[in-house]
Amino acid sequence: MVRMKLSLMQAKIGEKIRVIFWLVSILPFLVSVFIISKYHTYLKIGKAEIIFFLALAAVFILNGFFILIKLRRRILKVMRDIIQGVNRLGSQDLQHEFRIEGDDELSELGASLNRLIERLRQTKTLDKSALGKNVSRRFILGFTQVCSLLLGEHKEKVVPAVLKELMTDGDIEIAHFLKADKQGFIEERSRNKMGEVILGVDVLPSEKLFGYLSTLSVPLKIDDQKSTGEDIIPLFKEKFKMANLLLQPVLLNQETVAILVVGNNQAGFVWDEQDILWLQSQASLLAMAFCYYNLQQQLKKLEIRDSATGLYNETFILSRLQEEIKRAIISQRQCGLIFLDVDNFEKIRSRCDSENIKSILRKIGILLSDSVGEIDCVGRLGDDEFVIILPEKNKRKTLDIAEQIRKKIEFAFSEEPDAFLRLTISGGISENPVDGVTAEELLSKAKRLLAEAKAEGKNKIKF
Picking from 103-112, 205-214, 260-269, 342-351, which range would have the lowest pLDDT averaged per residue?
Answer: 103-112
Residue 164 pLDDT grade (very low, low, confident, very high; cuts 50, 70, 90):
confident
The pLDDT of 168-189, averaged and rounded, is 88
% of the chain at pLDDT higher than 70 = 64
In tens, the pLDDT along 261-297 reads: 999 999 889 888 888 888 887 888 788 777 777 766 6
The pLDDT of 189-202, averaged and rounded, is 86
CA quadruple 271, 274, 279, 283: dihedral positive or negative? Answer: positive
Q: How far is CA 65 from CA 24, 26, 178, 408, 431, in A?
A: 10, 10, 44, 42, 38
The radius of gyration of the chain from alpha carbons, rounded to an integer in Å, stands at 28
d(CA 136, CA 145): 14
Residue 397 pLDDT grade (very low, low, confident, very high; cuts 50, 70, 90):
very high
The pLDDT of 385-412, averaged and rounded, is 92
Q: Which residues pair with 186 in a beta bridge?
A: 179
Q: Quick one: which H or E segment has residue 38?
A: helix 27-43
425-432 and 461-462 as β-strands: parallel, antiparallel, unpaired? parallel
The pLDDT of 64-92, averaged and rounded, is 62
pLDDT at 321 over 80: yes
The closest alpha carbon to 432, from 315, 332, 317, belongs to 332
pLDDT at 215 over 50: yes
**What are the structural domains, with CATH classification, of the chain?**
1-155 (no CATH), 167-271 (3.30.450.40), 314-462 (3.30.70.270)
Residue 174 pLDDT grade (very low, low, confident, very high; cuts 50, 70, 90):
very high
pLDDT at 429 over 90: yes
| pLDDT: which is higher, 312 or 51 | 312
Contacts of 347 (CB under 8 A, 6+ apart): 420
pLDDT at 88: 59
Mean pLDDT of the chain: 77
CB 448 within 8 A of CB 337: no
| pLDDT: which is higher, 438 or 24 | 438
CA quadruple 194, 198, 200, 205: dihedral positive or negative? Answer: positive
In tens, the pLDDT along 340-383 reads: 999 988 888 888 888 888 889 999 999 999 999 888 999 998 88
pLDDT at 160: 85
% of the chain at pLDDT higher than 90 = 20
Residue 259 pLDDT grade (very low, low, confident, very high; cuts 50, 70, 90):
very high
Angle at 118 between CA 115 and CA 120, to 5 degrees: 110
Picking from 51-60, 84-93, 109-118, which range would have the lowest pLDDT averaged per residue?
Answer: 84-93
Q: Quick one: which H or E segment has residue 78?
A: helix 47-90
Alpha helices, DSSP H only, in 199-353? 208-214, 233-240, 273-302, 314-331, 345-351
pLDDT at 140 over 80: no
Residue 156 sits at φ, ψ, to 5 deg, of: -70, -15
| pLDDT: which is higher, 333 or 301 | 333
The pLDDT of 386-400, averaged and rounded, is 91
Residue 437 pLDDT grade (very low, low, confident, very high; cuts 50, 70, 90):
confident
State the DSSP code for 302. H
**How many other β-carbons are positioned within 10 Å of the β-carbon of residue 272?**
12
The pLDDT of 43-58, averaged and rounded, is 66
CB half-sphere exposure, 412, CA atoms < 13 A = 19
pLDDT at 413 over 50: yes
pLDDT at 2: 35
Q: Measure the CA dihedral 368/372/378/380, to 10°.
A: -20
Most confident of the ranges 44-53, 93-102, 227-236, 312-321: 312-321
Most confident of the ranges 100-109, 150-159, 315-324: 315-324
Residue 127 pLDDT grade (very low, low, confident, very high; cuts 50, 70, 90):
very low
